[in-house]
Amino acid sequence: MLTVRQIEIFRAVMITKTVSGAARLLGTSQPGLSRMLAHMEDKLHFRLFDRTRGRLVPTREACILFEEVERIYKGFDDLAHVIQRLATGEDKTFRVGASPSLGHSVLPQMLGRLTANYPGLTIQFDILSVEQAADYLALQRGEYALTVFPIDHPNILSSRIGAGRMVCAVPGHHRLADRDRISVADIASEQLQSFRPDTPHGRIIADMFAKAGRELNVATYIRFAETAVAFVANGMGIALVDSFTAMQPHADTVRFLEFADPGVLPVYINRNLESPRAIIGETFEEIARTVLLGLPRPKKA
């Protein structure tokens, strides 16, 4: 068998037709290359070249061998092309889901940075409810999910990578609209749009009221924070929503007020441990952490 170096030398001689030309092409010495050719012919038990007037004329065997060598080099070129496609995300669909408030606020920024790194990347994006998130990853419908709750499943890794906070959405003409900071006591008597107590948002709100020693009276139960903001805009009271929802464009009819002691809403990045992780996924994880780390923090009261 020939070594990779011997194949490289043989191909260079076939292309340049001279030992001196092959030596220049490979950046090696002419005498050393001549010795290598002689050694190759001894090893193969047939001549590769006839020496005629200072030039090397390939034998019939050399021409057949060269055809096979070119097929090998074509395979190397194809391999390089595949590697390039994988590195740039070409011919690749990245499937990611998110809780509604994250999907409408920070995730577009994350995906914008990701596609800037991988211009050929196709995105499949899904908004996920609490009930959908586990199956989305466990059944490999998506590669990542960004949620405001950890996913409890043996095959899913949930990593906390940041946090938001609860804020209060009030109508623009509300008595508290001009305040910089409020407390739970300030809104205890208000008509409140809120979440069921068994939801991530609902548990945080219940805890905030319990810590303040106030009773939580809910006028309207809603599933999504965006719905709560729409209700506030239409005069149906106030709502406690997360700061990610507050980042989204809203009409001037709604103001978002900071709490002096806000409830914290964690953010998790989730993936299936049984699914192979591509370099695009690793990049997405880095971007997600960077974006969340760069979000503004609430001012101290």
Instruction: Give percent helix, percent strand, percent coil of the chain, each to the nearest 5.
Output: 45, 25, 30
Q: Is residue 77 part of a domain?
A: yes
Closest CA to 87 of 285, 294, 280: 280
Q: Are residues 256 and 228 in the same domain?
A: yes
- Model-level pTM? 0.70
pLDDT digits (tens, 9 = 90+) for 15-41: 888 888 888 888 888 888 888 888 888
Mean local confidence (pLDDT), 285-301: 78
pLDDT recorded at residue 301: 39
60 CB burial (10 A radius; 0-12, 13-18, 19+): exposed
Count of the separate structural domains present in the chain? 3
Give the domain-ending residue among 88, 114, 131.
88
pLDDT recorded at residue 276: 81
What is the span of the domain harbouring residue 15? 4-88
- Looking up residue 69, the CATH number of its domain turns out to be 1.10.10.10
Query: Given a cut of 90, is residue 82 above it in pLDDT?
Result: no
Q: Is residue 301 part of a domain?
A: no
pLDDT digits (tens, 9 = 90+) for 135-162: 999 988 899 999 999 999 999 999 999 9
Q: Is there a contact between 254 and 232 (Cβ–Cβ < 8 Å)?
A: yes
Q: Is residue 250 part of a domain?
A: yes
Mean local confidence (pLDDT), 53-57: 74
Among all chains, which residue has been given the structure tokens 């370099």? 279
Query: Given a cut of 70, is residue 227 above it in pLDDT?
Result: yes
Q: Is residue 177 part of a domain?
A: yes
pLDDT digits (tens, 9 = 90+) for 87-138: 665 557 899 999 999 999 999 999 999 999 988 888 999 999 888 999 999 9
